[in-house]
A and B are shown apart, each in its own frame.
Chain A
Amino acid sequence: MNLDRRHFLQLSALGIVGTLTDIACSGRRDRPLDQPFLIATLGPDRVRELGARYRAQTPAENTADALRAALRNRGGLFAKSLDEMVEDDFAAGRVVLVDGWVLSLTEARQAALFSFNRA
């Protein structure tokens, strides 16, 4: 399944968005919210650790619900893919330092969601 914005809008029009929200927000790579693309670069263990650190340094986002809500609010249902959100974050300076890594706010939250998954 390759869910780009055009497909997403088509599905939205058909009223089946709700069940696919987690996937849709992750953009063209049909990843769920808790599967940041960062895993391919840094590996799952390190991303899980970064996610846990982000939750520790951001107590208000220390639940999966809070993180999902933050991600959805940021992206907007019809706005941008996660890839685009990450790019926009970096361009606008919406970055967070987690263990020294300069991460976009979006991918840091994704990593935090991922950290709830067991290894």
Chain B
Amino acid sequence: MHTDATTLPNGAVIEGDLCIVGAGASGITIARELNNSRLKVILLEGGGFDFDQKMQDLYRGEIVGQPYFPLQAAALHYFGGTTNHWAGWCATYEPIDFEKRDWVPHSGWPITRADLDPYYTRAAPILDIVPNKWDAAQWKNGDSERVPLISDSKLMWTKMWQFSPPTRMGQKYRAEIVNSPNVHLYTNANVVEVEANESVSAVQSVRIRGFDGKEYRARAKRFVLCCHSIQNARLLLASNRQAKAGLGNDNDVVGRYFMEHFEMPCAELALTRPESTGTKLYEFVKLGGTPRGEIAVTPAAQREQRILHGTCSLEAGNYGDPVLSTFQFLDTATMNQQRAWEKAGRKGEPPSTKPSEPPRTKGAPRFYHLSTRQEQAPNPDSRVSLSAEKDALGMPRAKLDWRVTDLDKHSMRTFYHLLGREMGRTDTGRVQIRDWLLSDDKTWPSFISGGWHHMGTLRMGTDPKQSVTDPNCRVHGISNLYIGGAAVYPTAGAVNPTLTLVALSLRLADHLKAST
């Protein structure tokens, strides 16, 4: 079922068993899992079925701290959420990502990778990738050149990525949701407040407001906030009529520990024997293309060196080429071109998402640009709070104060030291670390970049003083409020968050079904 919320009368009340706020990767996944169940599910989506600048502007926010990409361009606000423009990169988090590491302050998930394994298996087909196929040897594809650059190493290994087409969940699962007998989708239903009972121990309703000033409420037995990490935190902080610091924020943790993945050019690789060194395993072919490897630091080396988890990609090029960070090469104009191309049915060649490359010398390339993908250390001072400015619905905008730590840069530099050693030991090549990375641990370049991966802000844990949600993603102290999405990640892992986000959403859906 589907209703455009703008057609509801002012003061209308929607009632159900479960109310999901946000129809992106997490919300759609949970709703689909509950499709055809006994539960009456309300799915509230702030946007419509297509991009709308007015709606998108609700995501605009204030940026302080480290420079960041405009928030209104980093996540999408319509049915399908940010899967409407994601690039489809999928990889699993590693077991060490879930562990408490004594050299990484505030690390440690209350669940293990083994807990998530069955959900990774189930998440794969949802995103149109192959389940349980993550070893480089499984993607050789009969090609002798698709082999790891470094084998038999205690320091480095090859981490594999699969590429979703990318699955646009809003398109792929729209009919299933709209035709569901028990899931009722409301579009243009922007939630501006979560309303608790008098003792603030349970949520009673969410307040919805339209641009026309009309207000509605959704009441349910249980609620799941499935907006993205910044918006989920913003919504709880802005729900401050009954709890002054915001809902679920008795211990001032809501909004803290905002995390990104660093995606920045860090080094160059010169191959010793380019003609006989296979690098095909590391080639990025195109969106949705052949799985690709990245060189990653082993858990043993992370422990020994006391560094964060990171990988690096290889891209053939000329020595001295300018290389851009993720935030630099994909600007909002390019993203709009990509969106228009998809809207037109993906006809013809997709618009380039990279600047034109300088002509290469003939023969097998000797030089490769190495770009980092690395977790950042959880940092309570890296946070989302409320801006003094309000959006068109009267809700305080988000204020992002992205902060990084010495360990972040130290880890990145150590990674390339180790990689340089292994490339030299195996005589595969030599590594040159870029100047900016060789300076002190505190100085960051102007092109500091994430990957539009918003994580943390409502982290999962067992101690309410250190976390917002429990291991089942339920907000501490509020009996019927859950969080879906990457906001609950205590640490960021080295790889993109979407696959893990869908896996966690499946786990949450199972919990909701089991506890009905």
Binds B, one of A7-15, A17-25, A58-66, A92-100: A92-100
Of A26-34, A35-43, A69-77, which binds chain B?
A35-43
Taking a contact as CB atoms under 8 Å apart, the answer to whether A40 and B272 are in contact is yes
Closest partner residue, chain A, to B424 (CB atom): A90
B417–A42 contact, CB under 8 A?
Answer: no
Chain A residues positioned under 8 Å from B419 (CB to CB): 102
Q: What's the Cα separation between A104 and B431 when bound, in Å?
A: 11
* Distance between A83 CB and nearest chain B CB, rounded to angstroms: 8
Q: A41-B271, A100-B438 are in contact. Are A95 and B432 (CB under 8 A)?
A: no
Q: Which of these, B267, B270, B416, B420, contacts A42 with CB under 8 Å?
A: B270
Q: How many residues of B contact A (CB 8 A)?
A: 23
Q: Does A119 contact B (CB under 8 A)?
A: no
Q: Is the CB of B431 within 8 A of A101?
A: yes
Is A91's CB within 8 Å of the partner chain B? Answer: yes
B-contact 0/1 string along A77-110, CB 8 Å cutoff: 0000000001101110101010111111000000
Residues A41 and B270 in contact in the complex (CB < 8 Å), given A99-B432, A101-B432? yes
Residues of chain A contacted by B425 (CB below 8 angstroms): 87, 90-91
> Size range of the interface on A?
10 to 19
Q: Which of B267, B421, B438 contacts A90 (CB 8 A)?
A: B421
Q: How far is the CB of A79 from chain B (nearest CB, A)?
A: 18
Which of A86, A95, A100, A104 is the most central at the interface, judged by chain B CB atoms within 10 Å of its CB? A100
At the interface, yes or no: B221 with Cβ under 8 Å from chain A? no
Nearest CB in chain A to that of B413: its residue: A97
Contact yes or no, B430 A97, CB < 8 A: no
- In angstroms, Cα B366 to Cα A97, docked, is 20
Report the separation of the CA atoms of residues A73 and B296 in the bound assembly, to the nearest whole angstrom. 36
B238 to chain A, nearest CB (A): 47
Q: Taking the complex as formed, is B427 at the interface, i.e. its CB lies under 8 A from any CB of chain A?
A: yes
Q: B349 contacts the other chain (Cβ, under 8 Å)?
A: no
Best-surrounded residue of B419, B423, B431, B435 (most CB of chain A within 10 A): B431
Residues of B within 8 A of A104 (CB): 424
- Shortest distance from the beta carbon of A91 to any chain B beta carbon, whole Å: 5
Partner of A95, one of B270, B272, B417, B434: B417
Q: How far is the CB of A61 from chain B (nearest CB, A)?
A: 20
Closest Cβ–Cβ distance, residue A81 to chain B (whole Å) = 13
Chain A residues contacting B424 (CB-CB under 8 Å) are: 86-87, 89-90, 95, 102-104
Chain B residues positioned under 8 Å from A101 (CB to CB): 420, 430-433
Assembly CA distance A97 to B416 (angstroms): 11
- Say if the beta carbon of B429 comes within 8 Å of chain A: yes
CA gap between A52 and B430 in the complex, in Å: 18
Instruction: State how many angstroms separate the Cβ of B317 from the closest Cβ of chain A.
Output: 16
Q: Known contacts A91-B425, A102-B416, A102-B420; is A97 also within 8 Å of B433 by CB?
A: yes
Interface of chain B residues 380 through 426 with chain A (CB within 8 A)? 416-417, 419-425
| Docked-complex contact B438 and A97, CB < 8 angstroms | yes
Give chain A nearest CB distance to B43 CB in angstroms.
52
Q: How far is the CA of A47 from the CA of B415 in the complex (A)?
A: 24
Instruction: Let me know if B433 and A100 touch, CB within 8 A.
Output: yes
* A40-B271 Cα distance, complex, nearest whole Å: 10
Q: How far is the CB of B207 from chain A (nearest CB, A)?
A: 55
Measured CB to CB, the closest approach of chain A to B421, in angstroms, equals 5
- What B residues does A89 contact at CB under 8 A? 424
Do B272 and A41 touch (CB < 8 A)? Answer: yes
Contacts of B432 in A (CB 8 A): 99-102
Contact A102 B435 (CB under 8 A): no
What is the minimal beta-carbon distance from A24 to any residue of chain B, in angstroms? 20
Which residues of chain B are within 8 angstroms of A40 by Cβ–Cβ distance? 272
Given A41-B270, A42-B270, A95-B421, answer yes or no on A87-B430 (Cβ-Cβ < 8 Å). Answer: no
Complex contact A102–B417 (CB within 8 A): yes
In the complex, besides A40-B272, A99-B432, A102-B431, 4 extra interface pairs with C-beta distance below 8 angstroms are A95-B421, A100-B267, A100-B434, A102-B423
Can you list 12 A-B pairs with a CB-CB distance of less than 8 A? A40-B272, A41-B272, A42-B270, A89-B424, A90-B422, A100-B267, A101-B430, A101-B431, A102-B419, A102-B424, A102-B430, A102-B431
Using a CB–CB distance below 8 Å, which chain A residues touch chain B?
38, 40-42, 86-87, 89-91, 93, 95, 97, 99-104
